[in-house]
Amino acid sequence: MIMEEASRHTRCARPKDYWWSSKHVYPDKPRITCPSISRWAVLRSKRVLSTPICRSILFVLTLMVLTSVMLSSPTTDFEMEDRRENVQLRKSTPTLASVRSTAITNTRLQEVDERVEQTTNWTIKDELQPTTKSFGPASVFAQKYAPGYSQNDSELFSYLAALSKQKWVYNSSNAKEFRVDLRAALGKEGRFENFIATRRNTRPDQNISFYLRGSMLMSKTLWRSLPRGTIYKRRRHRTCSVVGSSGVLNGSRCGNLIDKANFVLRFNLAYVKGYEADVGTKTHFTTLNPSLVHKRFNRLRTKQNYADFEEVLKQFKGSQLWLPAFASTLQHRTLLRVASAARYSKLVTPILGHPDHYTTVAKLWKKTLNVTGWTTTGLHVFTSIFDLCDRIDVFGFWPFAKSLEGKTLPYHYHDGRRGASAHSFTKEFKAILHLHELGIINFHLGSCV
């Protein structure tokens, strides 16, 4: 018994030579190396990733990343185009300041050189002035495109007479830069898709602020009558004719040239019948101001007023009728009555101008022209269609009582009325003229033959 116990203790006793000593009794301890650690980490990761819980977590994380990327990316063609243009605007510097418009040739400069030296108040802005201070987009636009011409009509007429004899040349680079500057200056509220009120840019029970006076809640009935989305697409038409109603069109023989355009815009239901040789026959877009509804159609108070209104609309069959229904509370109901009558006639499609868009465009031109009064509907529409048309020809915008030849002109080509207005017609005329000299639009000052 004692011998067996002693034998057991002898077998279990720890040897005197440990594993780190020079004499090894037990096998060597494994050495830890980088490759061995890597193999262990790979095997361990495979085991963890193969579990159902880990796979579920990875799947959820992947979905979250994809969703965030989709939400942060542009969702419409408008936004993608605006982002490209904004990047171009940030990277580029004004180039029109150093590049003279091709429309202003050396011949014209020689013709007016002597007159310029004698005139202290007359500055010809045939190129955009560089900015030395940091402004917002609207201020940059106002500084670059503010017209500067003589305040003396006789001097201006002499200048216009020389200009009208020159051949106009389209300047694509100036036109492209102007569009970029205009979009940046107008911002989100002035974007082209907000030109008219739609279900997309309004909502039921929304408080609509009129741009002249008052406000209202958008009723569900009115909201449902609006188009679902914008009815216009950017750069849809290659050529557009914008036709004013000035008496300068009488005898101009511009009808054929106007009708050559892909899209023709007119104003205030100006008569076409009987004036086809001078103003053309085509109409795709026209407007109607509240004052004309009162004077011409007695606010549609009687059946005869409705009949007279429908008779006039026959000249514009198939066109769109733009109405400033959100100008003021005083005219709101009248213009909604006009829209209802137009829709019932099935001759034209009524569309309502968005008040925020109108206000944004008006503020920009107030700043650019340094005026306090409201700009005209003509300038508003003209500004808005730069995203609709590649090239724009302008006819019948003439604020003067006489033509370049000295002939006395009526206020409108279709009546003999002499007009006075709160609008700054002369300054608006100079703004359009300035764009003509930059080769951005073609401004027809008189006869087309």
Contacts of 123 (CB under 8 A, 6+ apart): 148, 149
CA dihedral 201, 204, 210, 214 (to 10 degrees): -160
Distance, in Å, from the CA atom of 162 to the CA atom of 139, rounded to the nearest integer, reads: 32
Tokens matching residue 325: 């229904």
Low-confidence ranges of the chain (pLDDT < 70): 1-38, 40, 42, 46, 48-49, 68-135, 418-424
393 phi, psi to nearest 5 deg: -110, 135
Q: pLDDT per residue over 251-269, tens digit each?
A: 999 999 999 999 999 999 9
pLDDT in tens, 185-244: 999 999 999 999 999 999 999 999 998 888 899 999 999 999 998 888 777 899 999 999
Contact 212, 375 (CB under 8 A): no
* d(C-alpha 89, C-alpha 336), whole Å: 40
What contacts 208, CB < 8 A, 6 or more positions away? Answer: 202, 215, 216, 217, 218, 326, 355
Instruction: Name the DSSP letter for residue 62.
Output: H
CATH 3.90.1480.20 fits 91-443, yes or no: yes
- In this structure, what are the phi and psi dihedrals at residue 241, rounded to the nearest 5 degrees? -110, 125
Q: d(Cα 285, Cα 263) in Å, to the nearest integer?
A: 8
Contact 353, 322 (CB under 8 A): yes
Q: Collapsing DSSP states into helix, strand and coil, what is residue 215?
A: strand
Q: Which of 278, 281, 276, 283 is nearest to 449 (CA)?
A: 278
Task: Show the CA angle centred on residue 59, arms to residues 58 and 61, nearest 5°.
Answer: 65
Gyration radius of the chain's alpha carbons: 37
Query: How far is Cα 239 from Cα 427, in angstroms, rounded to an integer?
Result: 25
Q: Which pLDDT score, from 0 to 100, does residue 31 have?
A: 58
The enclosing H or E element of 242 equals strand 237-243
Looking at residue 418, what is its pLDDT? 66
List beta partners, residue 389. Answer: 237
Would you state the pLDDT for residue 107? Answer: 39
**315-352 in b/e burial notation, b at 16+ Cβ within 10 A?**
bbeebbbbbbbbbbeebbebbbbbbebbeebebbbbbb
Strands 349-352 and 320-323: parallel
Report which of 315, 311, 314, 321 is spatially closest to residue 343, judged by C-alpha positions. Answer: 321
Question: Cβ distance 444 to 281 under 8 Å?
Answer: no
DSSP for residue 364: H
Strands 215-217 and 389-395: unpaired
Q: What predicted TM-score, i.e. pTM, was given to this entire model?
A: 0.71
Angle between helices 329-345 and 290-297 (to 10 degrees): 70
pLDDT digits (tens, 9 = 90+) for 290-327: 999 999 999 999 999 999 999 999 999 999 999 999 99
C-beta neighbour count of 235 within 10 angstroms: 13
Distance between CA atoms of residues 291 and 399, nearest Å: 19
pLDDT at 71: 56
Task: State how far the Cα of 324 lies from the Cα of 374, in Å rounded to an integer.
Answer: 13
Q: What stretch of H or E contains 320?
A: strand 320-323
User: Which pLDDT score, from 0 to 100, does residue 62 have?
Assistant: 80
Contact assessment for residue 360 and residue 243, using Cβ atoms and an 8 Å cutoff: no
Amino acid identity, position 401: A
Contact of 244 with 398, CB cutoff 8 Å: yes
Query: What confidence score (pLDDT) does residue 368 get?
Result: 96
Per the listing, tokens 């007009």 go with 419
What does DSSP assign to residue 154?
Answer: H
